[in-house]
Structure 1
Amino acid sequence: MKTKTAIVIFSLFCQFCFSQIETRKTLKGQVRNDLVPVENVIVFNVNSQSGTVVNQYGFFTILAKVNDTLVFSSLAFKSKKIVLSDKEFINPPFVVKLDVFTNELAEVLVLAKKELNPIGGNTQKYVDKQYFDDEKSSPKNRTLPPIGGIENGMDFVRIYKGILKTLRKNNPQKVDFYQETSFSELVLKRIDYSFFSNTLKLKDDEIKLFLVFCENDPKSRTLMQPKDEFQLIDFLVTKNKVYKSITALEK
């Protein structure tokens, strides 16, 4: 009798536990810019590590549940991250508005230009004056040492060190100046094109969208130092598998 009672109690307990676990269900939605539907947007569920691509009318379906985080990635529109609540499942379709990228110019400080007074009086003496470099009709660069026999060569190493020194002087609390550039820009400059085409098997029109997709992963910001190149490549390979699985659903 005690065994049967224990079995019944255990069954009720299991049923109660399973009832507390909310299963994911299909969420239908549409991505828009104002009232116009958009396409070529990747919808990724961070919690379930699954995703989909919106169709030509901006519609998508994805398995999700309350408190799941959806990330929307696109080339032409700003990325958006949304934590789902009950209301997204009550009245479908779930509408997501994306804002268009705008090219914003950095603030420029224009200093007042100092007016130069013209030379007055007898100016012929300045015309007749002979300067040291007149025989070549070109002033010599005496600030930097000649490089490779070129008198007016530029020491780019010294210039770079001078710029970096100035940045550190103006920003004493800042160590990492790579954070000023976006992840996508940095990867395109650092990683060779053949890696994307031959290793990742990405088409030309897929590379930038793939990098935007990677950029929405917070881990991408931790791999921007030159010393992290191997980890960066491993990260790109891993994200490419997820990207391929998502975009394969579109085909």
Structure 2
Amino acid sequence: MKVKLLTTISIFTYQLSISQTEKLLHGKVVSQNNVIKGAEVINKTGQTSTTTNDLGEFSISANVKDSLFFISKDYIVSGLKVTSQNIESSNLVVNLIIKPEELNEVVVSNIKFKPIQLTSQEIEEIKLNSGRPTGFGTITNGIDFIHIGKKIYALLAKEKEIKPKTPEIDFKKLTATSIPPDFFTKDLSLKTEEKELFIEFCDADPKSKLLLEHPNILATMDFLYAKNDEFKKLKLNNN
């Protein structure tokens, strides 16, 4: 009976301590002094989310060490590990950086015209056709522009057949553009020198190709969390 009572008290105390540390965190999301409305504020640890109002303000329940992510369409994703100072001040200001504008691929091609090789027979044909009558009389020793034009058109047609291959986005670029840089060191507890190797490890998994076909920030983060566990186990086995 005493054991059950002690267990009940312990559980109650633990739940009470959690409820006391969890607070409603208030803040604002801005970019270059402009408020961002409709931005997603996600508490990855607490599995809760909200959006900013017309003034860029938000309120979300959070504990110390919770991971918050701020997502808006035209801005780079920003991450934050909640500190006791954030909880106490409850006046958090998050600055998002606007994504650099991606220009459509521009291919500049310097077309070099190859000399038109004419046989002696073709030269004779041009000479014969140079005296072809036109609506304004006959041109003596003229040039058969139609014949030469066909030659040039054939060369240009071959140039058009060679189309540059559009480069496909790879997993490394996906993580660089959608995942906050400190996510790997703070959330995944990876060393700076391990980041490159870890991304290659993730890229080797066929599941990473599905993320490239349907990019999703939260799905990518969940994938990285799962692969991080595998990565750490692999390191332990190698040591």
Bigger Rg, which one: 2
The interval holding the TM-score normalised by the smaller chain is 0.3 to 0.5
Structure 2 length normalisation: TM-score?
Answer: 0.47
Structure 1 length normalisation: TM-score?
Answer: 0.45
